[in-house]
């Protein structure tokens, strides 16, 4: 299988809890190569653009507020089958249902404060990468 890229965001809850290093270690121990990495704070405009696919859903406003509540770490990962592989490593969106040993099982606390985000398709990776690494002048 050909190498592909995916985006991982380490969310504000995991950054605040001091879990950046633990999460990156898990990522590297699962044969991902880090191609880009930056720490930033999303402003409301960027968070709304990043999560525009969820606009109008009941959790949208809380998600935008949460993602702008503190620093995040954005990482472009590379390996064979990176999108599916990272989503498997991340675990279920609901941290309580995430398999043992997954990032969300280890470091998430619920359905929203679940430590990481991962792209769900090549198209979403391209869009998300553009928002975070090309159009974001976040600080």
| Angle between the N-to-C axes of helices 82-90 and 20-29, in degrees from 0 to 180, rounded to the nearest 10 | 130
Output DSSP code: residue 136: -
Note if 129 is an active site residue.
no
* DSSP SS3 for 53: helix
Looking at the chain, how many residues does it have? 139
Q: Which of 58, 117, 129, 139 is catalytic?
A: 117
Cβ atoms of 21 and 118 within 8 Å: the answer is no
- The residues annotated with a catalytic role in the active site are 117
């Amino acid at each position: 299988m050909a190498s592909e890229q995916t985006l991982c965001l380490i969310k504000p809850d995991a950054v605040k809890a001091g879990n950046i290093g633990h999460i990156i270690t898990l990522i590297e121990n699962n044969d991902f190569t880090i191609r880009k990495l930056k720490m930033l704070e999303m402003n409301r405009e960027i968070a709304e653009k990043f999560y525009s696919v969820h606009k109008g859903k009941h959790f949208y406003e809380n998600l935008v507020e949460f993602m702008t509540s503190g620093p995040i770490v954005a990482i472009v990962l590379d390996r064979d089958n990176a999108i599916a592989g990272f989503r498997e490593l991340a675990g279920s969106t609901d941290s309580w249902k995430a398999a043992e040993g997954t990032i969300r099982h280890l470091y998430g606390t619920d359905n929203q404060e679940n430590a990481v985000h991962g792209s769900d398709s090549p198209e979403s990776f391209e869009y998300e990468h553009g928002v975070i690494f090309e159009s974001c002048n976040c600080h």
